[in-house]
Amino acid sequence: MVSLPGVCLVISDQHSGPVAALKRSFQGSGHQGCRVRFARSLLTHMPKSRVGWSPRFRKVFARPDPEAISKAWNEVRDHLASSFPKVGPLMDEGKAEVLTFTGFPKAHCRKI
């Protein structure tokens, strides 16, 4: 088994194989699910005609601090879940994984 010291955060898809490998090879590192892939999975629960939600979702990540990001995430979840009930639980389940970057200093977020 190979381990890479100094890796603090790994961003990847949520497929079981890579996630298991990351846990073995990057022990102690944070894992963040890819927000683009997460957004695409949300789309599977909304009609293609649904427009306007994507800019609101992207703005979540531009908030100034972890509390504002969490609040914005919840607002987007509530807005989407009111029309698409399956989206609410998906966003609840994925929140910690997609927002892992908020545990890092703000100066690092541009690179993340």
Distance CA 102, CA 109 (A): 8
- pLDDT for the residue numbered 99: 92
pLDDT in tens, 58-89: 889 888 889 999 999 999 999 999 989 999 99
* DSSP designation for 46: S
pLDDT band at 102 (very low <50, low <70, confident <90, very high): confident
- Would the pLDDT of 11 be above 90? no
Distance CA 24, CA 83 (A): 40
26-35, 49-58, 64-73 — which one is most confidently predicted on average? 64-73
- pLDDT for the residue numbered 5: 63
Other beta carbons within 10 angstroms of residue 89's beta carbon come to 12
Distance CA 98, CA 41 (A): 13
pLDDT band at 27 (very low <50, low <70, confident <90, very high): confident
pTM equals: 0.79
Domain positions in the chain are 35-107
Distance CA 42, CA 64 (A): 24
Distance CA 8, CA 26 (A): 8
